[in-house]
Amino acid sequence: MKNILVIGYSSRNIACSANTAGYNVYAIDAFCDRDLENNTCKCHALMEEDIHEVDREEIVRIMDSFKTDFDGVVLGSGFEKLERDIFECPVLNNSVRQMEIVSDKKRFAKELQKLAIPHPETHVATNPPQINTPMILKPAIGGGGIFNKIVTSTDELEYQIDNICKTGNFNPDELILQEVVHGNAASVSMISNGNQATAIAVNEQLIGIPWLTNMPFAYCGNITPMQTPYEKEMIGICEKLCKHFKLKGSNGMDFIITEKGPVILEINARFQGSLDSVEIATGINLFQAHVDAFNGKLPEKPKYQRWGGRTIIYASEKPITISKQISEVFGKGRFADIPKSGYEAYLDDPVVSILAEGNSRNDVMGHMKEQAKMLHKIL
């Protein structure tokens, strides 16, 4: 397997890992950032098109334009349910049926109930219970936390349903209502082969960080490792779920660690945003581990070699246009998802990622804060 096609809303981290592993990488991506271009043979940006309207015929047209025979395809965020019959090579992903079950928070909650695994009480938003305490309204599938809203009454629920449907192009029946679970956000990165699974890392999730975004539930990155007394319990839950759903490749499980223990929120049955921090902290190449898992081979659990981090800066105060000067700054530091000159980030759009490594969590967080402070002065 030599030529790999990666398709995703933001696929830079997957492509970079594949390139490091020695593959010839081609990508179809929303942005085609500078570092994606630098790590691929060719990439096609979907920014000129409505990514939600990209159909199979358009994907086939773009693939044909690469004039390359692919040995494998990896589908990233936003394209996990793309029809597999358009590809003439293996698709290294969980099946569409698996994705439909684990990515739909309504269906996933029912499976968790059968397995007696702690999870938030979940309801269809259009058929809510009596709202006596704050609850969280969110899309049943995807969203990255951007559309999540706290509601405290039926009137507020109706208002926010209308608001999310307008801003996010959702239908009311695509939204769910969950109990608010308080604690620390975490994730576990797994590699599985359909029968067995290996835990690669436990990660701290950075959600709604004020110096990165104004959106209280937006995903802002990860720090790896996360040290928690519940590590073994979380890994046990993840191993059980990987086996139950017969998952393959790289899969991530999101948790809230409460005072009583871990509560699972969702499965990302594809490469996750934590890829950078996991690779920095462990030294493992996650793309190669992912490919090997589809051949039945699992890695040994790696040891942490250092702390790794990735944060995402959003356009939180105003829209931002990337000038040549700003682009040059990005080229000198340890940044990722680097936009080209002229890129326009609208309010609440992601701008760039900051990567860091160190001998402690404080080292990593301190470096990322310093870099973010510097960027806020020039953006």
Q: What are the DSSP E strand ranges found in the chain?
A: 3-8, 24-29, 42-45, 72-75, 122-124, 135-139, 149-151, 175-179, 184-193, 197-207, 219-224, 248-258, 261-268, 307-314, 320-321, 335-336, 344-345, 350-358
Pairing of strands 197-207, 184-193: antiparallel
Can you give the residue ranges of every domain in the chain? 3-93, 121-179, 184-378
Spatial separation of the C-alpha atoms in residues 275 and 258, rounded to whole Å: 25
- The pLDDT score that the predictor gives to residue 327 is 86
Domain with residues 121-179, CATH architecture: 2-Layer Sandwich (3.30)
Class of domain 3-93: alpha beta
Neighbours of 334 (CB within 10 A): 13
Q: Which CATH architecture has domain 184-378?
A: 2-Layer Sandwich (3.30)
Residues 6 or more apart whose CB falls under 8 angstroms from that of 350 comprise 10, 312, 313, 314, 315, 337
Closest by alpha carbon to 268, among 178, 92, 142? Answer: 142
pLDDT tens sequence for the chain (379 residues): 799 999 999 999 999 999 999 999 999 999 999 999 999 999 999 865 556 667 889 899 999 999 999 999 999 998 998 999 999 999 999 999 999 999 989 899 999 999 999 999 999 999 899 998 899 999 988 877 889 999 999 999 999 999 999 888 899 999 999 999 999 999 999 999 999 999 999 999 999 999 999 999 999 999 999 999 999 999 999 999 999 999 999 999 999 999 999 999 999 999 999 999 999 999 999 999 999 999 999 999 999 999 999 999 999 989 999 998 898 899 888 999 999 999 999 999 999 999 999 999 999 999 999 999 999 999 8
Domains 3-93 and 184-378 belong to one CATH topology: no
What is residue 372's predicted lDDT score, i.e. its pLDDT?
96
With a threshold of 0.85, does the pTM exceed it? yes
Residue 313 confidence (pLDDT): 97
